[in-house]
């Protein structure tokens, strides 16, 4: 945090290194690890469990090597891994308050390495922070931040539960294990290649894209990073491409399904988006994508984006991609996949159910995003003394 202007009444300036005494964690190997219930903290949080604790609470832990910046308040006996820094001596400060200050300090900016990110605790001596002089005020601030954290954690757990419920629904509905009311017809076997044509793509680097050209450009990286299976190219923010660079590419249309053709991990294999709208200026499939246009009587609009979750579809792509360093999806792989699918009417009904679930999750995601933003703003106020909490006498 930057220190500027006057120091609030009852606050003081200290070196960041004086908030607590950070120490290096302890090495633990597979040979020395013993199964137990004591959490072992690495730079990303709890990694596994051990039979013996090295530190007693309260304590804070942060990453020393690897993932930097995350700060954990620990209220149970634990073992800090060698990749962490930890503290149980807070120089008279409130432990939860110290954890909040260190989290807001963004320790990752003190990276002292060039290859593997590494935090040098000695770098903290060069920085100053403002803190309340009275521990009771520190504790009051920490309690408010903890309440915000609790609300955020509750939202995260709720969203995770809803995603699990959705995954179960997807597995049931897309395999025919559960049928929607009113549908009893037999599903039929199809081979995707019998009902598809492919659009020409254009491979442009990020450096060749801009934000001013009218033509939208769908990059495979933007498929991998999105959570929605639907793409509204007319209203969503997308990279742009100059028309002369993409003149040979096919123009995307409503209902087209666009796959990312490469993934570094199995979860990304078959990742795709279904185009739900396009702008008058057009949109094109870009680098490392496969743009498929299926017969709408065989794969209904709205349903196509969900075939990536059909177990038989994913299993087929993973089997075909096995053995490659970067897991590939190709036109021939997609064309060769055989699926058992319901009729178009049932597909549309399934899609409507899943889209409703997706919309609910999106609404909760926005609420979580808002809660996180509120917390950031609140911390900026409370940890700088711009906003003071009502005074409470120490008991």
- 363-384 pLDDT, tens per residue? 999 999 999 999 999 999 999 9
11-132 and 188-341, same CATH topology: yes
Confidence band for 106, pLDDT divided at 50, 70 and 90: confident
Query: Can you tell me the distance from the alpha carbon of 181 to that of 160, in angstroms, rounded to the nearest whole number?
Result: 27
Mean pLDDT of the chain: 93
- 22-76 pLDDT, tens per residue? 999 999 988 899 999 999 999 999 999 999 999 999 999 999 998 899 999 999 9
Q: Which CATH superfamily is domain 188-341 in?
A: DNA methylase specificity domains (3.90.220.20)
Tallying the residues shown for the chain, one arrives at: 395
- pLDDT confidence of residue 111: 80
Tell me: pLDDT of 127 over 70. yes
Q: Is the peptide bond before 58 cis (omega within 30 degrees of 0)?
A: yes
Find tokens 């945090």 and name the residue. 1
Tell me: pLDDT of 394 over 80. no
Q: How many other CB atoms are there within 10 angstroms of residue 137's CB atom? A: 22
Q: State the CATH class of domain 11-132.
A: alpha beta
Query: Can you tell me the distance from the alpha carbon of 322 to that of 40, in angstroms, rounded to the nearest whole number?
Result: 34
Average pLDDT over residues 285-302: 96
Measured over the CA atoms of residue 380, residue 385, residue 386 and residue 388, the dihedral's sign is positive
Angle between helical axes of 344-382 and 95-105 (0-180°, round to 10): 110
Q: Where are the domains of the chain?
A: 11-132, 134-162+343-395, 188-341
Query: Can you tell me the distance from the alpha carbon of 137 to that of 389, in angstroms, rounded to the nearest whole number?
Result: 8
Q: How many CA atoms are closer than 13 Å to the CA of 117, on its beta-carbon side?
A: 14
């Amino acid at each position: 945090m930057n220190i500027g202007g006057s120091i609030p009444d009852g606050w003081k300036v200290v070196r960041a290194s004086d908030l607590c005494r950070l120490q290096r964690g302890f090495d633990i190997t597979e040979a020395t690890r013993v199964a137990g219930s004591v959490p072992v903290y690495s730079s990303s949080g709890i990694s596994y469990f051990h039979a013996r604790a090295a530190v007693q609470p309260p304590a804070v832990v942060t990453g020393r090597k690897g993932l930097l910046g995350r700060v954990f308040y620990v209220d149970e006996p634990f073992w800090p891994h060698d990749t962490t820094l930890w503290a149980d001596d807070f120089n008279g400060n409130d432990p939860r308050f110290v954890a909040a200050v260190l989290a807001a300090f963004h320790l990752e900016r003190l990276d002292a390495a060039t290859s593997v990110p590494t935090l040098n605790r000695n770098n903290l001596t060069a920085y100053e922070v403002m803190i309340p002089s009275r521990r009771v005020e520190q504790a009051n601030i920490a309690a408010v931040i903890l309440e915000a954290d609790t609300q955020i954690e509750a939202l995260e757990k709720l969203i995770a539960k809803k995603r699990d419920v959705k995954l179960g629904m997807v597995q049931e509905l897309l395999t025919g294990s559960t049928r929607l009311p009113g549908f009893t017809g037999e599903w039929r076997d199809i081979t995707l290649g019998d009902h598809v044509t492919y659009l020409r793509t254009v491979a442009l680097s990020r450096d060749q894209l801009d934000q001013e050209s009218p033509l939208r450009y769908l990059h495979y990286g933007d498929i991998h990073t999105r959570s929605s299976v639907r793409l509204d190219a007319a209203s969503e923010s997308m990279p742009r491409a100059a028309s002369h660079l993409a003149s040979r590419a096919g123009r995307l249309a409503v209902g087209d399904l666009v796959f990312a053709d490469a993934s570094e991990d199995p979860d990304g294999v078959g990742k795709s988006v279904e185009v739900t709208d396009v702008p008058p200026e057009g949109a094109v499939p870009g680098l490392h994508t496969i743009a498929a246009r299926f017969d709408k009587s065989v794969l209904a609009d709205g349903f196509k984006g969900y075939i990536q979750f059909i177990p038989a579809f994913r299993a087929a792509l993973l089997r075909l991609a096995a053995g490659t360093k970067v897991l590939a999806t190709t036109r021939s792989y997609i064309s060769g996949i055989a699926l058992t699918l319901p009729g178009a009417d049932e597909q549309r009904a399934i899609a409507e159910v899943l889209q409703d679930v997706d919309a609910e999750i999106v609404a909760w995601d926005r609420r979580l995003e808002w809660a996180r933003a509120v917390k950031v703003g609140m911390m900026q106020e409370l940890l700088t003394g711009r906003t003071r909490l009502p005074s409470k006498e120490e008991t």
